[in-house]
Chain A
């Protein structure tokens, strides 16, 4: 099944990426080559086969750990400021973004 220009525009929107009209033809061509490769999977009989999400679950059932919901040593104002140093824009410990609600 080949991707159309409409599909690509929709996927780009979901992926939060811009695709300019002049990039469309090449991208469409490349993505369709990839989809052609992936299509091979459709003909494989996998009836009764469980999807393998964690590789070691081939050996035994894997349960992912959860940690206690407790205050961590990093939850301090000083740590917060340290962690926020990489933010493009901040004020008073908050991340700044363009106005969303007028």
Chain B
């Protein structure tokens, strides 16, 4: 696949081409809309509205003409279909919202519009963001550009596939249990989820509110820094939005300023003094050998830049799976109670009374995975079980968060390990045991339970389906509000490696 965007290494390169009038934003937008149509087999986009994209391109172009362009003016992006958007459809990958039209834009969408980016449409995701392979989407599975027979990861699978294919330079995603980092890893791109509360959840269709956090996906850490900075900020419309991050206002500029400061060490040992905590629990049974090797080699590269590897322990890691699969379904069952077939969403055709109308509509509108998680959540919250399951899971959640705080207190500055135990599996290969798919989330869930920032960068390849080489992601976990440092470490890694520059279709 030779795509138009392949000629630009990153956002900065494309910005220069736009400023130098080598290409206009409108020409660029037209070209990409054509390529999106041409690569419809990826099934990444669920809605494209050329006129809306071109209208945004027009605004960006005028801004460039007046010499008022910003760092993201004219940059082509697309949004995970979990963010509500005016104009484009918003379905959350569900039949329930097949005909839903949002009367407003999510705060994150607004922020990127204000930054004069151009949205090329909406990207497929697992239904209500519940899934790890983008196989639970009403519009069918999304294909991974590296191998069309394997999943791109999930739940932000459309976002990962679109960026990996080169159809956009960046995309929004959401991460409740790994849904930005995991698809980024499996699709060979970069993704970051910030500290809980840094980006607004307003207009982000709720799955599990105490875990949900918006994130961004792109080709490089430098691009992530620009995008994440733009979507970060306090929002009074989100009750859990953070006003200050360690005494610094939660506003655009904070992350970029930290990022620049950590990058400004111009010597051959840019990571001198950095202590990388490597949790023993992330390298146990279940981790594929080739994946482990790629992670180890990445750590060797980071050591060559001056970082020091420290062995640490996060003893409650294994408990993050049961804790997550109590808390997330519990919050989901409560959040998804709003789909009652009265105010919006699918309504069944025939029914006897109000309760029957609601139940029939919900049974028809929700897919199997969503119905299952609602059932689990309803059960663990029901009378007599609330203390035993839900409160116990929230207590274990504190133990998991304390593990991280102990490590950050005196052992390390960042934590690193794999994102996933294996490379991307083949589409349709998941076993019938619902808990098997969940075991793959072992390295990502605890970060959401603790509310910490986490990112994924490509760090190699390992043989996957039919022994084809597939991307491996390196996970970096930071302490609260440490997004800038995480991105700077990732950027230093990318200055001396080229994994993030590999493109599907080219020899790996």
List A residues at the B interface (Cβ < 8 Å). 3, 7-8, 11-12, 14-18, 27, 30-31, 33-42, 44, 46, 49-56, 58-59, 64-65, 67, 82-89, 95, 97-98, 100
Contact = CB atoms under 8 A, between A and B. Distances in A.
Nearest to A50: B398
Contacts of A8: 375
A95 B354 CA distance: 12
Q: Which 10 A-B pairs have the closest CB atoms?
A: A55-B451, A51-B394, A88-B347, A86-B344, A46-B395, A52-B398, A15-B378, A18-B363, A49-B395, A52-B397
Given A27-B372, A56-B451, A42 B388 contact: yes
Interface of B: 99-101, 103, 195-197, 210-211, 236, 239-240, 242, 319, 321-323, 325-326, 333, 337, 340-345, 347, 351-355, 357-360, 362-363, 366, 371-372, 374-376, 378-380, 382, 388-389, 391-399, 401-402, 405, 433-435, 438, 448-452, 480
B354 A98 contact: yes
A34 B434 contact: yes
**DSSP class of B's interface residues: helix, strand, loop or mixed?**
helix
A2 B443 CA distance: 29
Given A41-B389, A86-B343, A67 B236 contact: yes
Contacts of A58: 398, 401-402, 405, 450-451
Contacts of A53: 210, 394
Contact of B326 (A16, A41, A64): A41
Contact of B103 (A3, A51, A82): A82
A59 to B, nearest CB: 6
Given A50-B395, A86-B100, A15 B374 contact: yes
Contacts of B376: 31, 34-35, 38
A18 B341 CA distance: 14
B434 A33 contact: yes
A55 B449 contact: yes
Contact of B359 (A7, A16, A84): A16
